[in-house]
Structure 1
Amino acid sequence: MDHVLTLVAPRGGLSSATLHAARDALAALGAATGTPDWLSPEEAADLPFADLAPGQADAAARAALEGQAVDVIAQGSAGRRKRLLIADMDSTIVTTETLDELAGQAGIKDRIAAITKRAMNGELDFEGALRERVGMLKGLGVEALQRTWEETELMPGARELVATMRASGARCALVSGGFTFFTGRVAALVGFHEHHSNTLLEADGRLTGHVADPILGRNAKLATLKRLAAEEGIGLEATVAVGDGANDLDMIQAAGLGVAFRAKPVVAAAARARIDHGDLRGLLFAQGYRAAEIAHG
């Protein structure tokens, strides 16, 4: 079979009946289907298929499983395991938007979070929205950065994703529109090889309200994906990119496996693959890793 449909659910949430429903949906469109292969019991399984385009298989399975907490990713069977991971940070590798949480230290979280939401859904220019939000933090003591970091939590599956891909020889990069104070700490904690982000400017122990140029935004994320792939001597088809916001969309669409993770509506609608229910381990299952192969960072 030249294609595979991967189904992933929160642990214990995937049943044989669900697999059969997906298989029947593909068969109804004329696809030939193989025997389901469980990657993780009651959590993830592959369904091989042929004679149907991945986009059609994805749409058919989603329609058949509507209302169930099951993620669906259809793709070619060859080259599933990727050699470069590019990951967004906020609301992807960590559970929060660190800039919004930093704003909470200044008592203006709601004001800044409203701008963040619009920017991440593509309603505002990212660079302009970033400068506006940072400007609202002018005068905030830099100790607020540490307090924010102490309250930041990793997304479930983040350590396993990076540890497993590293163990398989993949290069792992954190590429964020956020700030180096946080990306450096997240990269060290999770095990990324490197991190790329923006720099908050400070003076006399307080934020100046400015961010250093050039700003790492949507175009820069895509450029970083292409540059790192070239450095590794691989094509974009051998890469995986994951993120949730509009500034992630170009790199998600360019990567061989581009995943919208619990993403904003505009991103979820435009991405070829998405994870709405499972954790970051879903990116491993999408690459064909079995539960026994998953490393713990």
Structure 2
Amino acid sequence: MQRSPVRSLVVLDADSTLIQNEVIELLADEAGRGAAVAAATEAAMRGEVDFAESLRSRVAELRGVPTSSFARVRDRVEPTPGVRELIAAVHERGGIVAVVSGGFHEILDDLAPELGVDVWRANRLQAADGLLTGEVLGEIVDAEGKARALREWTTQYGIDPRCTIAVGDGANDLRMMAAAGLGVAFNAKPAVRAQADLVIGRADLRDVIPLVP
């Protein structure tokens, strides 16, 4: 039986978009360094520093955090209001939902399938002997990595680029928003709101549903 073509692609950022939290801050709390990492994350999301460089410095603060803390962090993660309704609506209309994140597979690999996300990409944390080393494994998913993921999924699933939507809040989402048919600033920083095709002010992903082809 021939599969129906995929009609649309909705790509969501993870931290502060798919979920209400910043996972790296939750992990840093485990090391007692949450406040310092939160300040660095805010600067990165405003676009004041290079994202990859900032991520490496923030991950360095996680050195020594036990991998057993992942379970506690997952328990603290709060999905953004309306996320399940949005994902259901995209599926009902023959589309797929993707997540691309400057955060971490260690949390997203459990969360994404539970929410009904179809495909996702994120960074991986290096660990040894049950402790984080403070380093990121492999190439960092930065602004260009997010845009590249959107383009790859568009090609992979044979989707009309005009039927792609990218939703994010931080400066590292701007390139994927520009690569999409529609770039949506969601509860976003001022620089992102200024460059987006559309701005959604309140933190409820149901507001994205009317935009889905």
The alignment's TM-score, normalised by the length of structure 2, stands at 0.94
Cα offsets for 1:218-271 (capped at 9, x unmatched): 001101111111122223211011011111111112211211100011111111
Per-residue deviation at 1:278? 5.2
Dislocated runs of 4+, deviation >4 Å? none
- What is the aligned counterpart of 2:91 among 148, 166, 178? 166
Structure 2 counterpart of 1:227: 152
Q: Distance in 2 between matches of 1:106 and 1:243?
A: 28
Q: Which amino acid aligns with 2:200?
A: I
**Structure number with bigger Rg:** 1
Q: Distance in 2 between matches of 1:138 and 1:268?
A: 34
More deviation, 137-146/108-117: 137-146
**Contact between 2:9 and 2:95, CA under 8 Å: does it hold in 1?**
yes
Q: Distance in 2 between matches of 1:130 and 1:169?
A: 35
Match status 1:270 vs 2:195: yes
Per-residue deviation at 1:274? 1.1
Structure 2 counterpart of 1:109: 34
Structure 2 gaps, min length 5: 1-6
Which of 1 and 2 has higher RCO (CA within 8 Å, sep 6+)?
Answer: 2
Structure 2 counterpart of 1:196: 121
Structure 1 counterpart of 2:206: 281
The alignment's TM-score, normalised by the length of structure 1, stands at 0.68
Q: Map 1:148-159; keep pairs closer than 5 Å.
A: 148-159=73-84
Q: CA RMSD in A?
A: 1.2
Alignment: residue pair count: 207
**Contact between 2:81 and 2:203, CA under 8 Å: does it hold in 1?**
no
Q: Which amino acid aligns with 1:103?
A: A
- Name the one with the larger helix percent: 2
Q: Percent identity?
A: 41
Cα offsets for 1:271-292 (capped at 9, x unmatched): 110111251011102337xxxx
Structure 1 counterpart of 2:184: 259
Q: Map 1:284-295; keep pairs closer than 5 Å.
A: 284-287=209-212
SS in structure 2 opposite 1:237?
helix
